[in-house]
Structure 1
Amino acid sequence: MKKTSLLLGLFASCLFFTNCASSTVGIASSNRPLPNIPYETIKSVEKNFSWFSFDIGIIGIPTSIPPADNVIQSLMEGEDADAVVNIRYWNDKSVYGPVTRHRFGIKGDLVKFTSQTPSATTKGKK
């Protein structure tokens, strides 16, 4: 009885500690680096998408590839933006027997780079 309790306790603690996940808290600065580039915000956008996977025990087989990069590109092309900044994202999943529905949402601000054309002032000698 004592060995069974110990084995069950070890098994439960292994399951608990191996299922821990880390996250970036759902915040990313932008989809491309913006070092000292002036920009103006066009508008805020939000997009949700989902995909399914077939799970048997601990093995999961997705039915399609998650389209995260394609969604960000489509958000930028629709408004002729240069980048997405202040990206916030979330994800969740719903399990329906052996089928799992994964949902992913992206929210951010579309920006367009402001063109800085330096005024060319030439001083010539006469």
Structure 2
Amino acid sequence: MKKAAVAIVFLIFVSCATSTAGLVTSNTAIGDRKFTIVGPVKDKISWYTLDIGFIGLPLEEPPIEEFTQNLITQNNADALINIRYWNEKSVFLFITKNTFGLNAEAIKWEEIPVVTNPKTKK
């Protein structure tokens, strides 16, 4: 029992967790285009890296682009707006678990009617 307690205390002192957060207006330029809000989007994804001192080696590429495209596709949307994101790192000995979370609103572009200019007669 004493060895288990020492092991737990050791793991607590050699592990670490950090997080960051941010806010972005959209993942694409909106300009004056009209859109309809499809609904809220909320999800997170994780990946691992190998960290030895100051050297960090990714075990896989961070899947952020595929993650956001999947959220857009799953919600039958064209883009994301009002994006709130957070990134969390948990370090256990030499392995780091990276978690990326995203909260946003999915939007669909409104159809823009084609306006034809009437021909003027001379």
Q: Please state which band the TM-score falls in when normalised by the shorter chain.
A: 0.7 to 0.9
Q: Which residue of 2 aligns with 1:81?
A: 77
User: For residues 107 and 116 of structure 1, do their structure 2 counterparts lie closer, same or farther at Cα, with a shift above 3 Å needed?
Assistant: same
Question: Which has the larger strand fraction?
Answer: 2
Question: CA offsets, 1:31-53, max 9 Å, x none?
Answer: 11000000010000111011111
Instruction: Return the alpha-carbon distance in structure 2 between the equivalents of residues 54 and 120 of structure 1.
Output: 59
Moved over 2 A (4+): 118-125
Q: Which residue of 2 aligns with 1:53?
A: 49
1:120 Cα deviation after fit:
6.2
Please say if residues 41 and 109 of structure 1, whose CA atoms lie closer than 8 Å, have aligned partners that are also in contact. Answer: yes
1:116 Cα deviation after fit:
2.6
| Paired positions, count | 102
Instruction: Return the alpha-carbon distance in structure 1 between the equivalents of residues 116 and 57 of structure 2.
Output: 60
* Higher Rg: 1
Instruction: Return the alpha-carbon distance in structure 2 between the equivalents of residues 33 and 51 of structure 1.
Output: 29
Q: Tell me the TM-score normalized by structure 2.
A: 0.75
Please say if residues 47 and 71 of structure 1, whose CA atoms lie closer than 8 Å, have aligned partners that are also in contact. Answer: no
Structure with larger RCO (C-alpha < 8 A, sep 6+): 2
The code of the aligned residue for 2:70 comes to S
Same amino acid, percent of matched pairs: 33
Structure 1: segments with no counterpart, 5+ residues: 1-22
RMSD: 2.1
**2:27 corresponds to 1:31:** yes
Please say if residues 85 and 108 of structure 1, whose CA atoms lie closer than 8 Å, have aligned partners that are also in contact. Answer: yes
Q: Tell me the TM-score normalized by structure 1.
A: 0.73
* Matched ranges for 1:86-125 at <5 A: 86-117=82-113
Instruction: Return the alpha-carbon distance in structure 2 between the equivalents of residues 61 and 119 of structure 1.
Output: 54
Structure 2: segments with no counterpart, 5+ residues: 1-19
Identify the match of residue 67 of structure 2 among 71, 76, 100.
71
1:79 Cα deviation after fit:
2.1
